[in-house]
Amino acid sequence: MFMNFLHSTYCNAAIFAGILFFFMGYFIRRYPPKSTQTWYGYRSFLSTQSPEMWHEANQDAAYISRRIGAILIPTGFACALFFEGQTDWFWYITVGSVIIGVMYMVGYTEWRLQQKMNRDEYDGADIPDKRR
């Protein structure tokens, strides 16, 4: 019974990772990590720079993670219905969509942190008035 499930198309990376992403995003949104010392949360060089950056990074990562999960789950079920077996293209699509989702989450979150860091630098800088 278990081996039949393992070899069926319903056992794919997109469904499992989609469920994981969705619940991870929900968990981080519902119980945000208080500091960088907690065991969970979005960790990167930029996100650990300050408590504000940590909070912003985890908000963005939780939001994007839920969205990725909501896309990966239907993608996995569509692949399970479309393909008759676990072919090479089946694995390329299901695993590739998970990799693209992870890259999008990290890239978007880091881009948002970079934008926040640049805004904060310009807010505190003495910018000369060029309207003279």
Alpha-carbon distance of 67 to 50, in angstroms, equals: 26
Confidence of residue 1 (pLDDT cuts 50, 70, 90): confident
**How many folded domains does the chain comprise?**
1
For residue 8, being part of any structural domain is answered with yes
The count of residues in the chain is 132
| pLDDT tens digit sequence for 38-61 | 899 999 999 999 999 999 999 999
Domain hosting 25: range is 2-124
Nearest 5°: the CA angle 75, 76, 82 is 85
For the entire predicted model, the pTM comes to: 0.82
Residue 64 burial by CB count (10 A; 0-12/13-18/19+): exposed, middle or buried? Answer: buried
